[in-house]
Structure 1
């Protein structure tokens, strides 16, 4: 668990970056990420040295050569700020050495091309180094929590429809999907790898005993987690995020998921968790040909859904966030992708989310689609849920409105307290109901969740908007007769006149 003092150090550090002229949150996180990796390299060398001393075996692939000892964290971190800064910025110095590591030491090192040292002053570098030096690097939880706290400071608006998915929404989606022991999980728009990290944390939380199985551990560290990202900064952050959470060798790919370069990604994954870019339009010649056969469109949100269908193995499951327009858009392409999922595969759930979920990044209304790739249909009815509250205020401040978002002690609450909790956070209810869909059959269209049969959806041009099917109960409001209202007004007028008369008498 991240302690208050470390949080305070991070907050001070953030302020120091801002004062030092680095205001872009992604740049700040990237620079801190470089230092975390540089410290990690020294720890690898320490491990190699200990092995050499214990076994007497010479290491033929040291991280640091004898002439590079000054570049090790344990040696430069106690130097004067000016000396440390010179060691970083000189040719073949600390930063150049980090970039030259290549793919020898973990997935993060593979994405060093284009990395730039941007800490402008010796004083700021010293502050960052001292803060990073206080982190318990042998504690997966502390390292992971620290990085999540850093990522939580990304508050700039999304570019091209990309913005950070709230972590509680990611956790809810993972809880709904319940990833299994042999999953091969992919996020084709990985960003900071939030979905992949959350899937790993789910296994630690719910199935810690799995980690005693060596075959599972091998699969967990290499093969289970996969992601694609076309932003160089993002993929470096994603790689470090996964490594700090204890996932040693994730398969991250630096390319555009929708391009021909990604054409080999076919029927490889058993689960996809994603929040692909909402905005964007591509030229047809920039899109991989097989996607256009599924849905002829230039819209990225539709192309990504087609991509996910292609990437999954038969039987693979997907939970994806899409903008509301995908649910009810009337264009040929919108209807085409919806009918593809509903007719040829198995659409299981549509969870509509309130528009404030992505504030302050954007106010767009969104939904979660959950479906299984079957290639043979299987949709007989679709479960709809109208999420009204996610445990946070739906304004730009996004203040948390309940103490515990997941697994609250509802059994210890009174009926009134449970009702108040539900009015502020629907996520436990969503998870509970989705895991017990057999009990949802008798729910009415006036309630917050209900089923809609395949034939009705087909008759409505594959419309998946919950408002198309939800029934609203109108309560009759009774008003007094006009004559009675006029009589009340006259009485009020008489009372007012009488009060004025008494006041005048008192003032004489």
Structure 2
């Protein structure tokens, strides 16, 4: 099973379909079909272990009753297949009845299809796509786990096709942060803007090595928790967790900023929190009011830092990726957030990342902040991760790899200051020094702005992605202005 051939085969089929426009829609089309195939394989295993298992999906809409081609000439295809998918399958799955008593393993079907769409208009081509996906045996452990590599590639392709870069954090970044925080079975790992579930699956890959018994397997199955606001990445994340053998993926489809942070109970807190929150976004006043007045930032990423602080258990550990703007920002809310972080939590490490880690989506400079809820900060270590030898920049074809973090891993276990004249690669600052400098965390900077040289094709992709992002921001601002003007009228 080849990564390239699987995705390209499906995309080539759909390129002949007039209803699908661009690779982004082609990938979305693949994902909802893939979800149903994976879910059918999970149900087959659940039925094996539970004679009383009843599917939430009506019999006529279960995968084996409409999607599987039994080679008897009776398989749905053409207009018959299209009519079934558009007039029966989608309305049925979107209209499934769930309540607070519905098991997560069942309710995820309804939530996954809330905003899903069938873009294809050619039923013969749709049949071909379904047959390619149905050929994968997800009940086979080896084949299911081999497919994870293909799924990872699908997520990377989506990052390049969409302007919403929060969908995918490079695997190397999530793996590195998980390895530094070392989650243990019995602990709960959370991400309140989980996108496609990168931090959650990196945590599961780390935890699986600790599973030895049936009891361990139960702990593993309940070890991760996610929140995702957008429908499509929610579907991607759910599928991702199912592929990692999580029978009850606890990912909430909603905005984790909507609850008042002062109302969180101990049961709603976590031992480990890992996040790469969306940058540059802004929230309405109805969201900001959920935070103490001094913490009401206009930037979404800042609000997530506050959520992490309010939802981190005593002795809990957190790692978060943030842009440079948070480190040197001096507006009232940013200063208040950094003051709370320093005075109420132990901010022990800041890793400065080289440019283009998130290429081609964005060239924003980013940093990893690690802190815990054990004591107030006494000292903060800064470490600058330089671009690896032979690289001028990271790109879609040459992404950052876990091995590039090896210098930081070696330093993490044996922290020493690394200073050459004014060039500070690693240095410890006391909390008082940071307070005296007005909570400026922009330390151990890169010596000079690196020149980013991209290949022409990636330069164009970068430009298109950035233009789409800016257009999206402009549309949001105009919508807010129109809403305000409407209220005035």
TM-score category of the 2 structures, normalised to the smaller one: 0.7 to 0.9
Aligned to 2:298: 298
**Which digits, 9 at most, give the CA deviation of each residue in 1:247-280, with x for residues without a partner?**
2212111211212378755541111111111112
Q: Which of the numbers 14, 18, 24 marks the counterpart of 1:17?
A: 14
Aligned to 2:234: 235
Aligned to 1:280: 281
After superposition, the Cα gap between the structure-2 partners of 1:355 and 1:44, relative to the gap in structure 1 and judged at 3 Å, is: closer
Q: In 1, distance between residues paired with 2:215 and 2:314?
A: 24
Aligned to 1:461: 438
Q: In 1, distance between residues paired with 2:340 and 2:310?
A: 12
After superposition, the Cα gap between the structure-2 partners of 1:32 and 1:454, relative to the gap in structure 1 and judged at 3 Å, is: same
- State whether residues 10 and 131 of structure 1, in contact with CA within 8 Å, keep that contact through their aligned partners in structure 2: no
Alignment TM-score, normalising by the size of structure 2? 0.78
**Which digits, 9 at most, give the CA deviation of each residue in 1:456-486, with x for residues without a partner?**
2122111111247x899xxxxxxxxxxxxxx
After superposition, the Cα gap between the structure-2 partners of 1:66 and 1:182, relative to the gap in structure 1 and judged at 3 Å, is: closer
Residues 151-230 of structure 1 aligned to structure 2 (within 5 Å):
151-154=155-158, 155-159=160-164, 162-204=166-208, 208=209, 210-222=210-222, 224-230=223-229
> What SS does the corresponding residue of 1:74 show, helix, strand or coil?
coil
- State whether residues 384 and 426 of structure 2, in contact with CA within 8 Å, keep that contact through their aligned partners in structure 1: yes
Q: Which has the higher contact order (CA 8 A, sep 6+)?
A: 2
- State whether residues 69 and 75 of structure 1, in contact with CA within 8 Å, keep that contact through their aligned partners in structure 2: no
Q: In 2, distance between residues paired with 1:171 and 1:391?
A: 21
Aligned to 2:253: 254
Alignment TM-score, normalising by the size of structure 1? 0.75
After TM superposition, give the deviation of residue 190 of structure 1 in Å.
Answer: 0.9
After TM superposition, give the deviation of residue 44 of structure 1 in Å.
Answer: 5.4
Q: In 1, distance between residues paired with 2:428 and 2:402?
A: 24
Where does the alignment leave 5 or more consecutive residues of structure 2 unmatched? 449-489
Q: In 2, distance between residues paired with 1:390 and 1:23?
A: 38
Q: In 2, distance between residues paired with 1:294 and 1:109?
A: 40
- State whether residues 36 and 63 of structure 2, in contact with CA within 8 Å, keep that contact through their aligned partners in structure 1: no
Q: In 1, distance between residues paired with 2:93 and 2:211?
A: 31
After superposition, the Cα gap between the structure-2 partners of 1:118 and 1:44, relative to the gap in structure 1 and judged at 3 Å, is: same
CA RMSD in angstroms comes to 3.3
Where does the alignment leave 5 or more consecutive residues of structure 1 unmatched? 408-424, 473-508
> What SS does the corresponding residue of 2:166 show, helix, strand or coil?
coil
Q: In 2, distance between residues paired with 1:67 and 1:342?
A: 54
- State whether residues 81 and 123 of structure 1, in contact with CA within 8 Å, keep that contact through their aligned partners in structure 2: no
Aligned length, in residue pairs: 432
After superposition, the Cα gap between the structure-2 partners of 1:26 and 1:101, relative to the gap in structure 1 and judged at 3 Å, is: farther
After TM superposition, give the deviation of residue 77 of structure 1 in Å.
Answer: 7.9
- State whether residues 266 and 312 of structure 1, in contact with CA within 8 Å, keep that contact through their aligned partners in structure 2: no
After TM superposition, give the deviation of residue 214 of structure 1 in Å.
Answer: 2.2
Residues 98-497 of structure 1 aligned to structure 2 (within 5 Å):
98-99=93-94, 105-106=105-106, 108-111=108-111, 112-137=113-138, 138-139=140-141, 140-154=144-158, 155-159=160-164, 162-204=166-208, 208=209, 210-222=210-222, 224-260=223-259, 265-267=264-266, 268-289=269-290, 291-293=291-293, 295-374=295-374, 376-377=375-376, 379-389=377-387, 393=391, 395=393, 397-400=395-398, 405-406=401-402, 425=404, 427-434=405-412, 436=413, 439-444=414-419, 446=423, 448-467=425-444
**Which digits, 9 at most, give the CA deviation of each residue in 1:79-109, with x for residues without a partner?**
5786365235337644445445556644631
> What SS does the corresponding residue of 1:108 show, helix, strand or coil?
helix
> What SS does the corresponding residue of 2:303 show, helix, strand or coil?
helix
Aligned to 1:412: none
> What SS does the corresponding residue of 1:449 show, helix, strand or coil?
strand
After TM superposition, give the deviation of residue 168 of structure 1 in Å.
Answer: 1.3
> What SS does the corresponding residue of 1:347 show, helix, strand or coil?
strand
Aligned to 2:80: 86
- State whether residues 87 and 93 of structure 1, in contact with CA within 8 Å, keep that contact through their aligned partners in structure 2: no
